[in-house]
Chains A and B, each alone.
Chain A
């Protein structure tokens, strides 16, 4: 009777003022940390920009580009000119051969555009390597930025177009139009590197982190929800009332998921702000599928002609709607396994102390695969550690997105099947525990020694 009544009670107990406060606190902490980190990292960024070299490919035959490079040289900038013999916009081999992180391309018609007072086209190619935290922090450029050329052009317009028309003011404000290319996986696509590294970061950092928080929170919630009923001795009263045990169970699970989602959401928002503050606007560019807004592009007009989703696909790191569904399916299964296992463990708690020991195995099983998938590639590990990790069901949830993007279909399907079997088993066990005597008779193994059968009266038979 009254599932809503039950659910309201569960939510009320999990969403205490303290819990809400700690959620807000975590979020605020991350945001502040990001601000502080961002300030220090911003300073570091500026340092490595003016390294006095500019590396470029000049496909332009006009005079202005030649003069510009001469002027750069005169100012003391080392200009490295590379040749390009490929066709189309495939610059991966150029970057590879010259061991460059980025390169500027002055396309055909650059001088002609500039000389006639139009915004001149520029191409800027950046290489994104590897995934993970290290890459995110180290995705700098070398060999000059489009800003240098843009600054030069601005001066050029200033000196040469004195009778300013409206159009020319526009040109003056945006002297060059940069088309960004990214090289990754040995392929080139027309997309801002921030979007690519954002995507890779989503795969290797943000997604696992979200999963980790969600798993931890939900497991902890359901464990608390069950064990406090036992510890505070309220479970028997509740279950002898006209409610079905499954109803009580479902109310607890739903409340745990809702509160865990809230928790994970606030933490992730805080974390997004943190990353954002730390690394400029990379997170933002990753989240909204549109022109990336890095410092470089702020001053310069940018021409995005390709659909970013297609461009990511072109690089072999895109993700489709179907894949997102599969990732969420994996997440849901992982969550369900965590909840069922926590439910069983939570039912064994008899006091607050035992509750904290009971939390340990769940903590370890979610934490270990989390950290390993974040910093390492499981597939390149030895057979034994690989097997151990794969035996932990949560590992498959962490690696799901990665496996889908990099087309490891066998690993994904294998993981999914394993998780489904595992879920079936834990779910069966959880329902069994909750619908039989086990809920009241189950205890921690170590506690069994403390049997008390002494009686105050009637010792003899």
Chain B
């Protein structure tokens, strides 16, 4: 069953050019789906529309049966979104940030505690959660934000450049976590990246996007076979340079 189905999504920032044009794909339950494409391809724009931050110029997307155009409030209850280069409130302690965000998803104290506990265990920041975010490194902030994005077990977690700013070790750890959450808890992910290696490791299916057009969608092994390529990078070169 599809958690997310995107139908003909189009976004036009300024007249004449579409940043995203007629993009359609689906993300199934328990699946990790990745949008891959070069800088400026339209990954973030697509994601922001699904996260109900931008209104589509045309088309629609449905999350758990709720349209992003007609019921954005309902959609937000079903997703979490980790933006690219996102920050956290500097004056707050890490732990307070988690409590604040958890409080937006539930008003039940016990539930909030559960969410936060989950995030605390996952982020690996330990005692440093008691410090102000002001003193966190980029990687620490990323881990904090990522753990908060999955702590509520959303139907769909949308992660834009999930591992940006993280070193090799930490990036690997994050990838493993994402995979584990999907396999063991059946969580669905929509990722974006231009790191082919990462995507090849973590995702089940990919969509290749360039200049606002979704050029190819499919399982990684199927696509590789179809293009007769050894890895995703090769596929990508072939697809984008048609």
Determine whether the beta carbon of B104 is less than 8 Å from that of A5: yes
CB within 8 A of A12: which of B52, B53, B91? B91
Known: A237-B81, A437-B55, A441-B13. A13 touches B89 (CB 8 A): yes
CB within 8 A of B100: which of A5, A455, A457, A460? A5
Is the CB of A380 closer than 8 A to any CB of chain B?
Answer: no
Is the CB of A440 closer than 8 A to any CB of chain B?
Answer: yes
B interface, how many residues as a size bin?
A: 35 or more
Determine whether the beta carbon of B48 is less than 8 Å from that of A440: yes
CB within 8 A of A1: which of B87, B89, B106, B210? B106
Known: A5-B104, A461-B211. A240 touches B90 (CB 8 A): no
Among B25-33, B71-79, B168-176, B180-188, the stretch that binds chain A is B71-79
Determine whether the beta carbon of B85 is less than 8 Å from that of A233: yes
Among A29-37, A241-249, A301-309, A327-335, the stretch that binds chain B is A241-249
Determine whether the beta carbon of A2 is less than 8 Å from that of B107: yes
CB within 8 A of B86: which of A2, A13, A236, A454? A236
Give A243 to B88 CA distance when docked, in angstroms: 17
CB within 8 A of B40: which of A234, A244, A455? A455
Give A458 to B38 CA distance when docked, in angstroms: 7
CB within 8 A of A237: which of B39, B86, B92, B211? B86
Determine whether the beta carbon of A236 is less than 8 Å from that of B81: yes
B148 to chain A, nearest CB (A): 8
Is the CB of B83 closer than 8 A to any CB of chain A?
Answer: yes
Is the CB of A432 closer than 8 A to any CB of chain B?
Answer: no
CB within 8 A of A241: which of B101, B211, B241? B101
**Interface of chain B, helix or strand or loop or mixed?**
loop
Within 45-89 of B, Cβ neighbours of A (below 8 Å) are at 48, 51-55, 73, 76-77, 79-83, 85-89
Closest residue of A by beta carbon distance from B77: A242
A-B contact count (CB 8 A): 93
Determine whether the beta carbon of B103 is less than 8 Å from that of A2: yes
Is the CB of A49 closer than 8 A to any CB of chain B?
Answer: no
Determine whether the beta carbon of A236 is less than 8 Å from that of B53: yes
- Measured between beta carbons, the chain A residues less than 8 angstroms from B83 are 233, 236-237, 240
Determine whether the beta carbon of A236 is less than 8 Å from that of B103: no
Is the CB of B240 closer than 8 A to any CB of chain A?
Answer: yes
- Measured between beta carbons, the chain A residues less than 8 angstroms from B136 are none
Is the CB of A9 closer than 8 A to any CB of chain B?
Answer: yes
**Interface of chain A, helix or strand or loop or mixed?**
loop
- Measured between beta carbons, the chain B residues less than 8 angstroms from A437 are 54-55
Known: A5-B103, A242-B76, A453-B40. A13 touches B91 (CB 8 A): yes
Determine whether the beta carbon of A234 is less than 8 Å from that of B88: yes
Determine whether the beta carbon of A456 is less than 8 Å from that of B38: yes
Give the one of A13, A238, A241, A437 with max B CB within 10 A: A241
Is the CB of A288 closer than 8 A to any CB of chain B?
Answer: no
- Measured between beta carbons, the chain B residues less than 8 angstroms from A238 are 104
B236 to chain A, nearest CB (A): 9
Is the CB of A85 closer than 8 A to any CB of chain B?
Answer: no
Known: A440-B54, A441-B13, A458-B210. A236 touches B48 (CB 8 A): yes
Determine whether the beta carbon of B241 is less than 8 Å from that of A460: yes
A451 to chain B, nearest CB (A): 10
Is the CB of A166 closer than 8 A to any CB of chain B?
Answer: no
A456 to chain B, nearest CB (A): 6
Determine whether the beta carbon of B104 is less than 8 Å from that of A2: yes
Give A243 to B194 CA distance when docked, in angstroms: 31
Determine whether the beta carbon of A237 is less than 8 Å from that of B145: yes
Closest residue of A by beta carbon distance from B86: A233
- Measured between beta carbons, the chain A residues less than 8 angstroms from B79 are 240
Interface residues of A (CB under 8 A from B): 1-2, 5-6, 9, 12-13, 16, 232-234, 236-244, 436-437, 440-441, 453-458, 460-461
Q: 13 other contacts beyond A240-B79, A458-B38, with CB at 8 A cut-off?
A: A2-B107, A13-B91, A236-B81, A237-B145, A238-B104, A240-B80, A240-B81, A241-B101, A242-B76, A242-B77, A440-B53, A455-B38, A455-B40
23 residue pairs bridging A and B, Cβ less than 8 Å apart: A1-B103, A1-B106, A9-B89, A9-B92, A13-B89, A13-B91, A233-B86, A234-B88, A236-B48, A236-B81, A237-B145, A240-B52, A240-B76, A240-B79, A241-B104, A242-B104, A242-B105, A436-B55, A437-B55, A440-B54, A453-B40, A457-B39, A457-B194
